[in-house]
């Protein structure tokens, strides 16, 4: 889902705020995950099956570290990935329809 480029209604503004906050959270999480497991910051030169196993294993280990309050990587996470401006991107008819349904259901 993409934000509205020029939000005209309060619902569109609320949608944009929620979308941007969510995207920033996801990007920060990926940043922390990549710092915790630096192999994820570069191209994995593995077969697809092995690549998937590495991704799943690091996700599981990352979650275990969080449960054990291992926040070293989190505390050093920079805020550099925060999205502050919107880039116009073409939206398919289906994507626009789904975005409108979300807008009506949750933000109106």
What is the full per-residue pLDDT of the chain (108 aa) written as tens digits?
Answer: 788 889 999 999 999 999 999 999 999 989 989 999 999 988 989 999 899 999 999 999 999 999 999 876 555 555 555 555 656 666 688 888 999 999 999 998
Instruction: Provide the domain count of the chain.
Output: 1
Which ranges of the chain does DSSP label H, i.e. alpha helix? 10-36, 48-67, 72-75, 93-102
At residue 39, the 3 state secondary structure works out as: helix
Q: What is the pLDDT of residue 84?
A: 56
What does the alpha-carbon distance between residue 94 and residue 92 come to, in Å, rounded to a whole number?
Answer: 5
62 occurs within a structural domain: yes
Task: Compute, in degrees rounded to 10, the torsion defined by CA atoms 92, 94, 100, 104.
Answer: -170
Domain around 51: 10-107
Task: Compute, in degrees rounded to 10, the torsion defined by CA atoms 10, 11, 16, 22.
Answer: 130
1 occurs within a structural domain: no
Q: What is the pLDDT of residue 5?
A: 87
């Amino acid at each position: 889902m993409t934000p509205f480029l020029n939000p005209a209604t309060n619902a569109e503004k609320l949608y944009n705020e929620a979308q941007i906050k969510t995207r920033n959270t996801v990007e920060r999480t990926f940043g922390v995950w990549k710092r915790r497991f630096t192999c994820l910051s570069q191209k994995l030169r593995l077969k697809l099956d092995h690549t998937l196993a590495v991704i799943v294993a690091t996700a599981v280990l990352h979650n275990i570290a969080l449960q054990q309050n291992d926040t070293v990587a989190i505390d050093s996470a920079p805020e550099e990935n925060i999205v502050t401006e919107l880039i116009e991107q073409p939206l398919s008819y289906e994507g626009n329809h789904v975005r409108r349904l979300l807008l009506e259901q949750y933000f109106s």
